[in-house]
Structure 1
Amino acid sequence: MKAANFAYARAADVDHAIELLSRNGTAKLLGGSQSLGPMLNLRLARPSEVIDIAQIEDLRVVRAHGDAIEIGAAVTHAELEDGVHPPLVGHPVQDVAAGIAYRAIRTRGTIGGSLAHADPAADWVVSLAALGARVRLRSRSGERIVEADSLLLGAYTTVLAADELIVSVAVPVSTPTARWGYHKLCRKTGEFAEASAACFFDPSRNCARVVLGAVDGPPILLRSLAAHLGDGATQGLTREQVKTAVKQALPERDAIDLRLFAAALERALQQAGVTIHHQVQGARI
């Protein structure tokens, strides 16, 4: 199957892209085309116009501002993986980018495009929520900042208005005290996750965040568990505490799903240095 007919326009800059969007309510933005391309070919998306924003210079830069690093929406996963931008070398986003799908997809796919597509199982959805990232949006009405964990309203649905686009994503600068973990479970390498979890702890910022991803809607913040660990739980957690936190967050899931999410969460926490204790007959070992 091939895409239905549509007009094509290449935006010269962000303002031009917004102008094109605002005059055509059914237009779609095109970044790396790794999500929109297949949807066009399957006719799941039938825009009257496709607006190419992949080469807009303002969307292709990475800048460090104080305690945050701003990543342009059209920066590709491969560029993040390869450390093309010095402020992000050794940053958690470099590890996340390296695990997205396949290399061929990473060379084209963009961080902004992934967020706008809003697949609940996507890597950036959960990892940026754990990092406490902020997404900068722009429209004819001006700019606004949205927390990454509030961007999704549901599967493939975001808070973006019809004439609004993602300009950049701001993530915290790495500090010596920061600890991070991200794990996903897939049927095979390169596929979207069946279950995922991410966590981020930085005592110097009084920050503790634990998130479940690959759920049916927006990522789920495990606030109680994060608060417990953020309060200096030096003894770590028991496996039962991990399972309980997952079950409370996903009460409608069956036992198999709960085991998958608990395994993903446990491994993410261990990556961040959290000790997970096993219990046998009430004794900790």
Structure 2
Amino acid sequence: MKAPKFAYTRVLDVGEAIAALAAGAGAAKAMSGSQSLGPMLNLRLARPAQVVDVAQIPSLRTVSRKGDWIEIGAAVTHAEIEDGMHPPLAAHPMREVAGGIAYRAIRTRGTVGGSLAHADPAADWVVVLAALGARVVVRSPRGERTIDADAFMLGAYTTVLESDELIVSVAVPSETSFMHWGYHKVCRKPGEFAEASAAVYFDASRERARIVLGAADGPPLLLNPLAAEIARDGAGAAGRESLRAAVRTALPERDAIDRKLFTACLERALEQSGVLAGAKHAE
């Protein structure tokens, strides 16, 4: 199919983009890499009267370190992160995650902000940024506000963004020698959407412990009690039965096979992080 008719506007400034979105009165849509919105337009699942192209706004394409945080412009592509083009992210776990998103052709155009705004439950950045405790910075005619990544997504393809708001950046914690990190997803074949995923993030220096399940047909699911137990008691709190119980509590409506997939993702993410070093699991 072909997209319905719409007005196309390319802007080179965040102020212009916000003005265009506001003028659209709910009928305008921001577009960056078009890897999510493009197919939605062609399938006529999205029918904006105007598309505002923000991909070339210089301030949305930068990455900088600010204290303990790394600020990533919303139009930075997955491939740029994968290739280490931005020094602040060269040794960051996000680089490995970026390399596993979809296919290379998609990664060269798809952007961090676009992926978040699209809010596909199976998307990588949705669960990873929630696990990292990232902050999403958005701007509108009313000013700027910061939203915790784990509160950004309300449901499948639904976020807290207002129609005149634009994601301008995402802030993630910088890497430290105390960071323990892991991410694992299950796909039918490489490049496809995840059927289950899990991300874990522990950093004793910042007293942070987060475990998140993704690809659960809705917003990321935070397993706060499990994360707190592992942070307090170590590998002893991460026995397989404990993981199964946490997944069962988070996904009570799922069948045994689905819960097994999520449990496997969780266990492998923990193993990847090194948190389970030396742990013995009871079958």
When normalised by structure 2's length, the TM-score is: 0.97
Counterpart in the other structure of 2:6: 6
2:85 aligned with 1:77: no
Counterpart in the other structure of 2:257: 256
**Offset of residue 234 of structure 1:** 4.4
2:68 aligned with 1:34: no
Counterpart in the other structure of 1:96: 97
Q: Deviations over 1:91-110 (max 9, x none)?
A: 01101100000000000000
**Offset of residue 172 of structure 1:** 0.4
- Aligned-residue Cα RMSD (Å) equals 0.9
Q: Secondary structure at 2:20's aligned position in 1?
A: helix
2:15 aligned with 1:15: yes
Counterpart in the other structure of 1:223: 224
Residue type of the partner of 1:59? Answer: L
2:141 aligned with 1:179: no
* In 1, Cα distance between equivalents of 2:89 and 2:257: 37
Residue type of the partner of 2:98? Answer: A
Check the 8 A contact 1:236/1:277 in 2, yes or no. no
Counterpart in the other structure of 2:58: 57
Residue type of the partner of 2:229? Answer: H
Check the 8 A contact 1:60/1:72 in 2, yes or no. yes
2:156 aligned with 1:155: yes
Identical pairs, percent: 66
Check the 8 A contact 1:242/1:266 in 2, yes or no. yes
* In 2, Cα distance between equivalents of 1:234 and 1:244: 16
Counterpart in the other structure of 1:278: 281
**Offset of residue 274 of structure 1:** 2.3
Q: Deviations over 1:77-116 (max 9, x none)?
A: 0000000000101101101100000000000000000000
Check the 8 A contact 2:127/2:213 in 1, yes or no. yes
**Offset of residue 143 of structure 1:** 0.4
**Greater mean deviation of Cα atoms: 228-237 or 108-117:** 228-237
* In 2, Cα distance between equivalents of 1:193 and 1:243: 19
Residue type of the partner of 1:148? Answer: A
Alignment length (residue pairs): 280
**Offset of residue 236 of structure 1:** 5.1
* In 1, Cα distance between equivalents of 2:241 and 2:275: 14
**Offset of residue 273 of structure 1:** 0.9
Check the 8 A contact 2:180/2:275 in 1, yes or no. no
* In 1, Cα distance between equivalents of 2:11 and 2:90: 30
**Offset of residue 232 of structure 1:** 3.9
Structure 1: stretches of 5+ with no match in the other structure: 281-285
* In 2, Cα distance between equivalents of 1:83 and 1:211: 25
Residue type of the partner of 2:280? Answer: H
Q: Secondary structure at 1:277's aligned position in 2?
A: coil
**Offset of residue 207 of structure 1:** 0.6
* In 2, Cα distance between equivalents of 1:53 and 1:152: 21
Moved over 3 A (4+): none
Residue type of the partner of 1:147? Answer: D
* In 2, Cα distance between equivalents of 1:121 and 1:278: 28
* In 2, Cα distance between equivalents of 1:194 and 1:234: 27
1:73-152 equivalences in 2 (<5 Å): 73-152=74-153
Q: Deviations over 1:7-41 (max 9, x none)?
A: 10011200100000001121111100000111111
* In 2, Cα distance between equivalents of 1:226 and 1:238: 13
When normalised by structure 1's length, the TM-score is: 0.97
* In 2, Cα distance between equivalents of 1:239 and 1:232: 15
